[in-house]
């Protein structure tokens, strides 16, 4: 016989993905979690999915009355139509009788009314799916722990013999732990609420592998949403490893043609040096090819980014309207790293996005609700996933100093990158300048020079190599004596200010000297 197991949906797409297709049919599963973690809501999703699939379903409610269950479900937009209920909640008349009984041995108890009700209802509905909420309520109706375990085992066996897939919740407390129930069932789904947000994990699942770890969970209109942790090796696509141009010839020469598809480039530099603008330059050129890009902005409002790009001849508003650019402003502490990774994956797979920029790494760490270790791990996973999908990734890494000894990257990200582009402030003869260069490129050779970098009203401007300066990466470079320009305040800055072909420095015009540089983040 085939080894393929029949699966049934939990009703939550992300959780089905964690379970590699859903629950194994005709087995029993426990949902654990603290009060308010979403256990009952998950059970409702499970039953509603059964109704949609044409199954007969039964909700055995042993704590909340039906009216409250339906009211709470309706408030979240979860449909309970088609769900059959067996109300054994505490205010039910059933619990007014003798509380000591064995569900499936009515001849052994003084009053078999509850047993009869359960048996008759199950036989009447003949459900394909059953949700018992919470099964630990039977503990209070049993004379001792032995009788409780016996009743639960008998109950589960009875339901499985009817061919049902069973979910039940438990209430784990310090005085009444539910360890024994974990051994009795075929799988455990654990819901948790922590400072970093809600999570779901699957510590036990017989007969199949699952996606390990904690996965993000949210409860919102429509019910539960689960965001599985990203596993890069499970995602890949065929793509052409071609070079994409920035549209700025001098920048392309630095990079030996541009950036390659399916690579990660770190743009590192001090605040206000022009990192974001350089990244958007690649997106502007991609838009001309009809390709879509997305900026995830952790450190800047979308309106500010749009305004300053428009001010330097980058038509981002038009790009957004045409769908070739999206700018997603990430609000602080609204997402976990797992949720963010899910959003990136959804963007790429639904919109065929070709360039993703994360602006910036420090903002990513501050804005998302996770520990530093989890944040860095998830960022690595996102980048590996994007590389597998042929997406060009641009990470903005901010150095903490304006000038001074150059720092490569923070948080050990350099090994993740295929290319590292630096843009740095330097001080030359009492004037602040900006320079750009490439420190690393795995996929090809690159130009090993430093060029002057400017942001003008016409966009990114890059000059000729600054061969006459030494010690640029120290932040305070000096001129070689034979290359020093005749005017102390006029360093060589591209073909507009230094004739490299004849070796003569030319004095900047009074108008050029008075024109201030425009610094953009």
Q: Which of 66-75, 296-305, 479-488 has the lowest mean pLDDT?
A: 479-488
Co-location of 327 and 197 in the same domain: no
Total of domains in the chain: 2
Structural domain contains residue 206: yes
Q: Which residues, at least 6 apart from 108, have a Cβ–Cβ distance to it below 8 Å?
A: 102
CB 223 within 8 A of CB 76: yes
CA atoms of 423 and 271, how far apart (whole Å) = 10
CB 133 within 8 A of CB 39: yes
Question: Would you call 219 exposed, middle or buried from its count of C-beta atoms within 10 A (0-12, 13-18, 19+)?
Answer: middle
Structural domain contains residue 169: yes
Co-location of 32 and 119 in the same domain: yes
Return the structure tokens found at 215: 């996965």
Structural domain contains residue 236: no
Length of the chain: 521
* Packing angle of the helix pair 302-310, 275-288 (nearest 10 deg): 70
Co-location of 342 and 212 in the same domain: no
CA atoms of 515 and 506, how far apart (whole Å) = 17
Co-location of 193 and 258 in the same domain: no
- Count Cα neighbours of 59 within 13 Å in the Cβ-side half-sphere: 28
Tens of pLDDT, residue by residue over 229-266, are: 999 999 999 999 899 999 999 999 999 999 999 999 99
Co-location of 308 and 211 in the same domain: no
Co-location of 329 and 411 in the same domain: yes
pLDDT at 495: 39
Share of the chain above pLDDT 90, in %: 54
Structural domain contains residue 1: no
Return the structure tokens found at 78: 């979860």
CA atoms of 347 and 335, how far apart (whole Å) = 16
CA angle 296, 297, 298 (to 5 degrees): 115
User: Among 444, 461, 443, which residue's Cα sits nearest to residue 452?
Assistant: 461
Sign of torsion, CA 441 293 278 328?
negative
CB 462 within 8 A of CB 438: no
pLDDT at 402: 52
Return the structure tokens found at 424: 């740095």
User: Among 126, 131, 122, 166, which residue's Cα sits nearest to residue 60?
Assistant: 131
Question: Domain end: 165, 194, 229, which one?
Answer: 229
Co-location of 288 and 204 in the same domain: no
Co-location of 183 and 296 in the same domain: no
Reported as a pLDDT band with limits 50, 70 and 90, residue 407 is low
Structural domain contains residue 287: yes
Residue 226 has pLDDT above 80, yes or no: yes
CB 204 within 8 A of CB 31: no
CA atoms of 451 and 438, how far apart (whole Å) = 10
Backbone angles phi, psi at 404, to 5 degrees: 120, -170
The domain of 21 spans 7-229
Structural domain contains residue 234: no
Question: What is the H or E stretch that residue 186 is in?
Answer: none
Residue tagged 């949210």 (tokens): 218
Co-location of 222 and 247 in the same domain: no
Co-location of 337 and 216 in the same domain: no
Positions of E strands within 70-134: 84-87, 129-133
Return the structure tokens found at 504: 């003569």
CB 43 within 8 A of CB 234: no
Q: Quote the DSSP letter at residue 33.
A: -
Helix, strand or coil, per DSSP, at residue 510: helix
CA atoms of 422 and 440, how far apart (whole Å) = 10
Co-location of 220 and 250 in the same domain: no
Helix, strand or coil, per DSSP, at residue 259: strand
Residue 21 has pLDDT above 60, yes or no: yes
Question: Domain end: 229, 260, 294, which one?
Answer: 229
CA atoms of 147 and 34, how far apart (whole Å) = 25
> pTM of the prediction?
0.80
Q: Which CATH number fits the domain that encloses residue 253?
A: 3.40.50.300
Q: Which of 109-113, 156-160, 407-411, 507-511 has the lowest mean pLDDT?
A: 507-511
User: Among 125, 191, 180, 186, which residue's Cα sits nearest to residue 157?
Assistant: 186
Structural domain contains residue 519: no
Q: Which residues, at least 6 apart from 479, have a Cβ–Cβ distance to it below 8 Å?
A: 468, 469, 470, 485, 491
Tens of pLDDT, residue by residue over 271-286, are: 889 999 999 999 999 9
Cβ-based neighbour number of residue 196 at 10 Å: 18
Question: Domain end: 183, 206, 229, which one?
Answer: 229
Co-location of 127 and 276 in the same domain: no
User: Among 232, 453, 271, which residue's Cα sits nearest to residue 362?
Assistant: 271
Residue 322 has pLDDT above 60, yes or no: yes
pLDDT at 504: 36
Reported as a pLDDT band with limits 50, 70 and 90, residue 7 is very high
Positions of E strands within 314-448: 325-329, 355-359, 392-398, 419-428, 431-441
Mean pLDDT of 124-140: 86
Residue tagged 């030319």 (tokens): 506
Reported as a pLDDT band with limits 50, 70 and 90, residue 218 is very high
pLDDT at 358: 95
Structural domain contains residue 520: no
Question: What is the H or E stretch that residue 357 is in?
Answer: strand 355-359
pLDDT at 35: 87
CA atoms of 220 and 339, how far apart (whole Å) = 14
CA atoms of 277 and 521, how far apart (whole Å) = 7
Q: How many angstroms separate the Cα of 270 from the Cα of each of 9, 274, 426, 436, 454?
A: 50, 9, 10, 12, 14
The three state secondary structure string of 377-390 is HHHHHHHHHHHHCC
Strand partners, 420: 266, 440
């Amino acid at each position: 016989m085939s080894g393929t197991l029949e699966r049934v949906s939990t009703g939550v797409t992300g959780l089905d993905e964690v379970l590699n297709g859903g629950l194994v049919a005709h087995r029993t599963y426990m949902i654990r979690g603290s009060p308010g973690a979403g256990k009952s809501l998950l059970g409702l999703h499970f039953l509603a999915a059964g109704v949609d699939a044409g199954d007969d379903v039964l909700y055995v409610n042993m704590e909340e009355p039906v009216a409250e269950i339906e009211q709470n479900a309706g408030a979240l937009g979860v449909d309970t139509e088609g769900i059959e209920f067996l109300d054994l909640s505490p205010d039910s008349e059933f619990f007014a009788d003798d509380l000591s009984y064995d569900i499936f041995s009515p001849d052994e108890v003084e009053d078999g009314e509850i047993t009869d009700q359960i048996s008759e209802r199950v036989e009447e509905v003949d459900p394909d799916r059953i949700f018992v909420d919470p099964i630990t309520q039977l503990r209070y109706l049993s004379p001792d722990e032995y009788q409780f375990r016996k009743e639960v085992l008998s109950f589960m066996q009875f339901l499985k013999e009817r061919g049902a897939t069973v979910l039940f919740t438990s209430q784990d407390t310090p005085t009444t732990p539910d360890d024994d129930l974990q051994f009795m069932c075929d799988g455990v789904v654990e819901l948790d609420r922590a400072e970093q947000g809600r999570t779901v994990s699957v510590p036990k699942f017989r007969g199949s592998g699952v996606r390990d770890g904690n996965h993000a969970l949210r409860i919102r209109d429509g019910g539960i949403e689960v965001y599985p942790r990203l596993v890069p090796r499970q995602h890949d696509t065929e793509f052409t490893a071609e070079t994409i141009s920035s549209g700025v010839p001098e920048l392309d020469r630095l990079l030996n043609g541009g950036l390659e598809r399916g690579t990660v480039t770190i743009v590192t530099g001090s605040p206000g040096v022009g990192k974001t603008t350089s990244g958007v330059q690649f997106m502007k050129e991609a838009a001309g090819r009809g390709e879509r890009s997305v900026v995830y902005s952790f450190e800047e409002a979308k309106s500010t980014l749009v305004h300053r790009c428009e001010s330097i001849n980058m038509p981002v508003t038009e790009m957004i309207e045409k769908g070739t650019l999206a700018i997603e402003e990430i609000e602080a502490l609204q997402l976990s790293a797992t949720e963010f990774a899910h959003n990136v994956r959804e963007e790429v797979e639904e919109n065929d996005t070709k360039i993703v920029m994360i602006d910036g790494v420090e903002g990513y760490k501050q804005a998302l609700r996770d520990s530093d270790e989890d944040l860095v791990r998830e960022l690595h996973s996102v980048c590996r996933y994007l590389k597998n999908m042929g997406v060009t990734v641009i990470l903005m890494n901010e150095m903490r100093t304006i000038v001074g000894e150059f720092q490569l990257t923070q948080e050990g990200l350099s090994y993740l990158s295929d290319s590292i582009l630096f843009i740095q402030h330097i001080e030359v003869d009492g004037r602040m300048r900006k320079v750009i260069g490439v420190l690393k490129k795995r996929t090809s050779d690159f130009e090993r020079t430093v060029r002057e970098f400017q942001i003008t009203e016409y966009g990114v401007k890059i000059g000729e190599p600054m061969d006459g300066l030494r010690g640029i990466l120290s932040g305070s470079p000096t001129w070689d004596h034979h290359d020093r320009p005749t005017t102390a305040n006029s360093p060589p800055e591209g073909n507009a200010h230094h004739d490299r072909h004849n070796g003569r420095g030319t004095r900047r015009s009074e108008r050029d000297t008075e024109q201030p540089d425009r610094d953009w983040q």
